[in-house]
Amino acid sequence: MAGSRLAGHMTLSMFRGQEARQKKRSQVLSEQAEFLAFELGKLKGSVVKIGQVMALYGEHFLPVEVTEALHTLEDNTHALDWSVIRGVLYQELGAEKMAQLDIEDEPIGTASLGQVHCATVRATGERVCLKVQYPGVAEAIDADLNGVAQLLRLARVVRTGPMFDEWLEEVRQMMHREVDYALEARTTAHFFELLREDSRYVVPRVFFDFSSSHVLATSYEVGEHISSASVASLSLERRNHLASAALELFLNELYVWHEIQTDPNFGNYRIRIDSNGDADQIVLLDFGAVQKYPQTFIDPVCQMINAAYHENLDEVIQGGIALRFMQSDWPRSVLDEFGKICIAVLEPLAKNFKDIDPAALNQDGAYCWSESDLPSRIAKRAALSAVNRYFKVPPKEFVFLNRKLVGVYTFIAVLRAEFNGQELLSRYAGSTKS
């Protein structure tokens, strides 16, 4: 229905002048996008999550009016009745396992795909979190995604074609990973092992005896939301400690492990404040969106980052061509501008700050992440340059990686950190020749 209404509006607009048509189209898109988001928001299950994922990763396919409306979708859905959740738990774990747990009826969190209940292991007294998937969610993903995609196509608000189909398939795979709690349990345990010796991070321990494909049991880990007053009141030194830890985690994911948690939602993180003041930690809560990248993708990405760090314009361009969103036969001026934009993205990690606005630096010359307008400057520069006319939709892997990088930058900005990332990046990119 919504798609038909939008198609009708767009047919009528054919008889208007170009400027009037554009203005009317934007107005109609905004109204329809708000309507779609409102309707999606009333639903429980994968439809809401699909809308959220499309908002995060659909900027190359969807009009800005649509992505802005989808960003309003929230996970604060009403909890299912305890009797329903208890039924799921008995079906997944069995009576014997359930008898080993004291489970609290009231959930500590709800989302579009499931809800979380606290429990205590009777034999040991250990506190655990039970992430319980709503009944029927996993089975409905394909139908829900096809329905949302068809609605977007009918409304003619997407650029359809092979690239869109490839991106849609990536969203489908991501959604299936999100609801595969057995996979998430293994991934969580894997990252637990990767980070167990690093005191800056806390990864929940998985209780495999109480987990299944639709139930994930992990240790209960306390922490403050990153935007809480308690975190904001920490000293600059402590906030810098947390921020550099977040940046180094991303660099390890990219350069060393080639496995990246691609969901930058702040709800996936907590800050554990140390009462002694010298060992604050980042609690990592969600590993459902971890993606493992092939070497064929990682190599040109790291090449671009290394080259941008060393301001090697030619190698930046070569990396962009290898990633298939640039072409060697583009005008040299366009290729150069693209490369310069990539170099500018690394501003907080630059080897020197010769071209940086002094307002972004504190009196000691350290980069003030929250004071920088880097995202808006990059977006404006890209939109106004010739690159905008040539730029192709990047490969799906790069779309997810780009979102993670934006999430890391935002995480550090929210902490109001003031430090230069050059020292950290040099450990990974420093060996590349300039």
How confident is the model over 339-348, as pLDDT tens digits? 999 999 999 9
Q: Residue 118: inside a domain, yes or no?
A: no
254 and 147, same structural domain?
Answer: no
| DSSP structure class, residue 14 | G
| Bridge partners for 260 per DSSP | 291
281 and 149, same structural domain?
Answer: no
Out of 99, 127, 154, a domain closes at: 154
250 and 149, same structural domain?
Answer: no
420 and 304, same structural domain?
Answer: yes
Q: Residue 203: inside a domain, yes or no?
A: no
Out of 90, 123, 154, a domain closes at: 154
415 and 296, same structural domain?
Answer: yes
Q: Residue 357: inside a domain, yes or no?
A: yes
401 and 300, same structural domain?
Answer: yes
pLDDT for position 61: 65
391 and 266, same structural domain?
Answer: yes
Per-residue pLDDT reduced to its tens digit, 94-106: 999 999 999 999 9
pLDDT for position 58: 66
List the domain range (segments joined by +) for residue 28.
Answer: 2-76+142-154
Out of 107, 124, 154, a domain closes at: 154
User: How far is Cα 26 from Cα 325, in angstroms, rounded to an integer?
Assistant: 27
236 and 322, same structural domain?
Answer: yes
Encoded tokens for 113: 């795909």
Q: Residue 383: inside a domain, yes or no?
A: yes
DSSP 381-395: HHHHSTHHHHPPPPP
Query: How many domains would you assign to the chain?
Result: 2
Encoded tokens for 237: 């030194």
Place of tokens 């991303």: 250
CA 347 to chain centroid, in Å, comes to 21
378 and 287, same structural domain?
Answer: yes
User: How far is Cα 315 from Cα 310, in angstroms, rounded to an integer?
Assistant: 10
279 and 147, same structural domain?
Answer: no
pLDDT for position 88: 97
Encoded tokens for 197: 């010796």
* E strands, 145-229, in order: 201-202, 215-219
Q: Residue 50: inside a domain, yes or no?
A: yes
Q: Residue 99: inside a domain, yes or no?
A: no
CA distances for 309 relative to 246, 343, 402, angstroms: 19, 7, 17
Low-confidence residues of the chain, pLDDT below 70? 1-29, 32-33, 35-45, 56-61, 71-77, 155-159, 392-396, 430-434
pLDDT for position 203: 98
How many CB atoms sit inside 10 A of residue 347's CB?
19
269 and 149, same structural domain?
Answer: no
Q: Residue 219: inside a domain, yes or no?
A: no
3 state SS of 149: helix
Q: Residue 195: inside a domain, yes or no?
A: no
pLDDT for position 400: 75
